[in-house]
Amino acid sequence: MLGAPVAAWVDAVARLGPVIELVGDGEPVVVMASAEANKVSWSTPQLWSYARTDAAKVFHSQLGPEHVSALDGEAHRRLRKLLLPAFGVAALRRDISTSAAVMTAGIAQWRGQTIELHASACHLFTKALTQSQVHTNADDRSISKLCEFEENFIAGVQISAAEQQPWFYRQSYQSLRSTAFAFFNAVLDEHLVAEPADDSLSLLLKREPPEGMARLTREELLHATYLLSIAGVGNIANLLCGLLWSIHDSPWLYRLREELDGVDLSTLSGMKNLPVLSAVIKESERMFLPAPVVPKRTERDVAVLGRELPAGTLVQHMHGLAHFDPSRYPEPLRFNPERWLVDGAERPNAFGGGKHLCLGMGVTRAYLPLATALLVQEGLSFEGPPVFEPLDPAHASRPVTTTLNTQIS
């Protein structure tokens, strides 16, 4: 996290407290990290601006000023309220049988091959999302282009502001972005003229806004189409790679297979009666959370846990560090799903909290259990652990993606 091992940050917070002042790229930076800091941050949304950070500027420049991640205050509250019905677990479960069928067919095609699991899973999740959430049957080439765009876009969010402009102005990226937005525009245009379908985009189109609240604009609907079609698939794939590597040579693989024996996965929409699967998913969320650090700025002079922060202070909210607090999770660096079956541990906050809780939580909690349940019943072997590889080795900043070479038999 922020260029240092998790254990080093845990030690730093234990010695220095949950609010630590650093020097960043030419300006002071404050790191907030602890379960207590999380509660303070998520319960005081009026104190923070997410839109005035370099990360939000990337969303603004690449996805447009109406994108939900580039907004604060009332504008953010309105847009999130209008979008939320299409992104809850209930919306994903409405057509879970379609997603299950897509994943089952895709995994069947992997048998007898060595695949790169992260990229293959991104492709599979995108195919499932486009068919279930926007009712579009895209060909494999189009799906691959969407995945490449998302992977390159998200990678660009992770690098420094100075490196972002040359990364996003590469001709290859601009071509991917144009192709992706042509797809999103075509999907939206088709929905605008067609009879309403039973999908999440149609739900947004036909839903009346609360009294006094403006309807979604076309630009906002375009961003919603992006979110419904592709957003977050790389994060789900990262979780899946970490999970499968962690259990592949452990008793948890066999416990999962035993629990899932006879379960109809074509309609899997929850884990209420699957405690082992639930425990493995929770432990994966704890250890491999998608975005462990969220940047923001103070809106005004504030006091946080005994520290005075001037207005405009850049804060790196390391909310994920609480997942490795040994007082909350004994042996925090060990993958141990048993803690969720015996200890009654507090569920991790892998998707943040408060008014900026990640919209991708619903799709992750629908697709990760389904993909895990399908794959653990296959013969799995790996060439080695997940590793980070540069997306564009020739580019100076060398942002990375996860790779996990996997044999399916």
In this predicted model, what pLDDT tens digit does every residue of 3-25 receive, in sequence order? 789 999 999 999 999 999 987 66
Go through 145-158 and write b for each residue having 16 or more CB atoms within 10 A of its CB, e for each that does not. Answer: bbbbbbbbbbbbbe
CATH number at residue 298: 1.10.630.10
3-state secondary structure of 22: strand
- Domain membership of residue 409 (yes or no) is no
Spell out the residues 6+ positions from residue 308 whose beta carbon is closer than 8 angstroms to its own.
Answer: 301, 302
Q: Measure CA 26 to chain center.
A: 29
E strand or H helix at 285, and its extent? Answer: helix 275-287
- Residue ranges in the chain modelled with pLDDT below 50: none
Closest C-alpha to 63, from 160, 150, 166, 189: 150
- Domain membership of residue 346 (yes or no) is yes
Other residues' Cβ atoms within 10 Å of the Cβ of residue 116: 17
| Residue carrying structure tokens 């060595």 | 114
Q: How far apart are CA 362 and CA 271, in angstroms?
A: 14
pLDDT of residue 161: 86
Residue 348, both tokens: 């991790």
Q: How far apart are CA 51 and CA 57, in angstroms?
A: 7
Residue 154, both tokens: 């998200």
- Domain membership of residue 31 (yes or no) is yes
CB 126 within 8 A of CB 229: yes
pLDDT of residue 24: 60
**Rounded (10°) angle between helices 233-247 and 140-157:** 90
pLDDT of residue 82: 95
- Domain membership of residue 146 (yes or no) is yes
pLDDT of residue 398: 84
- Domain membership of residue 328 (yes or no) is yes
Residue 386, both tokens: 């997940």
Give me Rg for the CA atoms of the chain: 21
- Domain membership of residue 1 (yes or no) is no
Beta strands in 65-192 (DSSP E): 113-116
Could you write out the DSSP letters of every residue in 349-383? Answer: -TT--GGG--TTHHHHHHHHHHHHHHHTTS-EEES
pLDDT of residue 25: 64
Please, how many CA atoms are within 13 Å of residue 6, restricted to the half-sphere of its CB? 19
- Domain membership of residue 338 (yes or no) is yes
pLDDT of residue 70: 81
Question: Domain range for residue 117?
Answer: 6-209+216-379
Q: pLDDT, tens digit, for every residue of 205-239?
A: 999 999 999 999 999 999 999 999 999 999 999 99
For the chain, the domain total comes to: 1
- Domain membership of residue 387 (yes or no) is no
CB 356 within 8 A of CB 70: no
Residue 280, both tokens: 């493995």
Q: How far apart are CA 150 and CA 236, in angstroms?
A: 13
Q: How far apart are CA 176 and CA 344, in angstroms?
A: 45
Beta strands in 109-249 (DSSP E): 113-116
Q: How far apart are CA 265 and CA 242, in angstroms?
A: 22
Q: How far apart are CA 13 and CA 323, in angstroms?
A: 13
pLDDT of residue 23: 76
pLDDT of residue 94: 83
Residue 168, both tokens: 């996003």
- Starting at the edge strand found earlier in the chain, the sheet holding 380-382 runs 113-116, 405-408, 380-382
